[in-house]
A and B are shown apart, each in its own frame.
Chain A
Amino acid sequence: MKRNKVSYINKHTGVFLILASILVISALFSPSFVAPNNLLAMLRQASSLGILTIGQLFVIIGGGVDLSVESILQMAITIFMYGYNNFGDAGLIYGLIAAFIFGAFAGLINGILVIRFNVQPFLTTLFTGSIITGIRMIWVGIESAGHVPELIRFFGRDKTLNIPNAVIVLLLVAIIAGVILNKHVYGRKLIAVGTSFTTSVYSGIRSHRTVVFSYIISGVMAVLASIIISGYIGYADRWIGAGMSFNSLIAAVIGGNYLGGGRGSVIGAIGGALLMTIIVNFVILLGLPASYQHIFSGLVLIATIFIGSLSKKISLQNLIGRQ
Chain B
Amino acid sequence: MIGVAYEGPTNDWAASLMNHLKYSFDIKYADQVKEVYYESADGDATKQLGQVENLLTKGIDALMLQPLSETAMVPLVERAYDMGIPVIIFGSSIQTDKYVTYVDRDNYKVGNLYATWVCEQLGGEGKVVTIMGEPGSGYSEDVLRGVNDALAKFPNIKNLGTEYGEYSGAVTKQKMETFLSANPDIKGVIVDGALMAMGVLEAYDDAGLEYPYMTVDDLNLFQKKAREVGYTDYISVPGGSEAAAVAADLLFKYLAGEEIPQKYLMDVRIMSGEEVQAMIPEGMPDSYWGMCLIPEEHIELYYPKE
Binds A, one of B77-85, B168-176, B259-267: B168-176
The reply to whether B286 and A233 form a contact with Cβ atoms under 8 Å apart is no
Q: Mark A23-65, 1 if CB is under 8 A from B, else 0.
A: 0000001101101001001000100000000000000000000
A97 adjacent to chain B (CB < 8 Å): no
B256 adjacent to chain A (CB < 8 Å): no
Using known A-B contacts A142-B9, A237-B169, A289-B162, determine if residue A284 contacts B15 with beta carbons closer than 8 Å.
no
Binds A, one of B87-95, B106-114, B198-206: B198-206
Among B9, B15, B178, B285, which residue has its beta carbon within 8 angstroms of that of A281? B178
Which residue on chain A has the smallest CB distance to residue B15? A142
Q: Distance in Å from the Cβ of B205 to the closest Cβ of chain A?
A: 8
A157 adjacent to chain B (CB < 8 Å): yes
A149 adjacent to chain B (CB < 8 Å): no
B11 adjacent to chain A (CB < 8 Å): yes
Q: Distance in Å from the Cβ of B97 to the closest Cβ of chain A?
A: 29
Among B160, B173, B182, B287, which residue has its beta carbon within 8 angstroms of that of A33? B182
Which residue on chain A has the smallest CB distance to residue B206? A157
Give the docked Cα–Cα distance between A287 and B129 (Å).
11
The reply to whether A233 and B10 form a contact with Cβ atoms under 8 Å apart is no
The reply to whether B160 and A233 form a contact with Cβ atoms under 8 Å apart is no
Among A235, A277, A284, which residue has its beta carbon within 8 angstroms of that of B169? A235
A316 adjacent to chain B (CB < 8 Å): no
Q: For A30, list chain B residues within 8 Å (CB).
A: 181-182
B225 adjacent to chain A (CB < 8 Å): yes
Interface residues of A in 103-158 (CB under 8 A from B): 141-144, 146-147, 157
A229 adjacent to chain B (CB < 8 Å): yes
Which residue on chain A has the smallest CB distance to residue B169? A233
Interface residues on A, range: 20 to 34
Q: Distance in Å from the Cβ of A143 to the closest Cβ of chain B?
A: 5
Interface residues of B in 182-220 (CB under 8 A from A): 182, 195, 198-199, 202, 206
Interface residues of B in 7-48 (CB under 8 A from A): 9-12, 15
B135 adjacent to chain A (CB < 8 Å): yes
The reply to whether B225 and A147 form a contact with Cβ atoms under 8 Å apart is yes
Q: Mark A263-290, 1 if CB is under 8 A from B, else 0.
A: 0000000000000010011001101011
Which residue on chain B has the smallest CB distance to residue A35? B181
Chain B: residues with Cβ within 8 Å of the partner, total of 33
B142 adjacent to chain A (CB < 8 Å): no
Q: For A280, list chain B residues within 8 Å (CB).
A: 174-175, 178
B179 adjacent to chain A (CB < 8 Å): yes
Among B11, B160, B174, B179, which residue has its beta carbon within 8 angstroms of that of A45? B174
Q: For B135, list chain A residues within 8 Å (CB).
A: 290-291
The reply to whether B198 and A234 form a contact with Cβ atoms under 8 Å apart is yes
A242 adjacent to chain B (CB < 8 Å): yes
Using known A-B contacts A280-B178, A291-B135, determine if residue A233 contacts B285 with beta carbons closer than 8 Å.
no
Q: For B164, list chain A residues within 8 Å (CB).
A: 290
Which residue on chain A has the smallest CB distance to residue B202? A234
Instruction: Give 30 CB contacts A-B under 8 Å.
Output: A29-B182, A30-B181, A32-B181, A33-B181, A35-B181, A41-B181, A41-B206, A45-B174, A45-B177, A142-B10, A142-B11, A142-B12, A144-B12, A144-B285, A144-B286, A144-B287, A232-B170, A234-B198, A234-B202, A237-B168, A239-B168, A240-B169, A240-B170, A281-B177, A284-B161, A284-B163, A284-B179, A285-B178, A290-B162, A290-B164
- Beyond the given pairs A234-B202, A290-B162, 19 more chain A to chain B contacts, judged by CB atoms under 8 angstroms and listed by A's residue number, are A29-B182, A32-B181, A33-B182, A35-B181, A45-B174, A141-B15, A144-B287, A232-B170, A233-B169, A233-B199, A234-B169, A235-B198, A239-B167, A277-B174, A281-B174, A284-B161, A285-B178, A289-B162, A290-B164
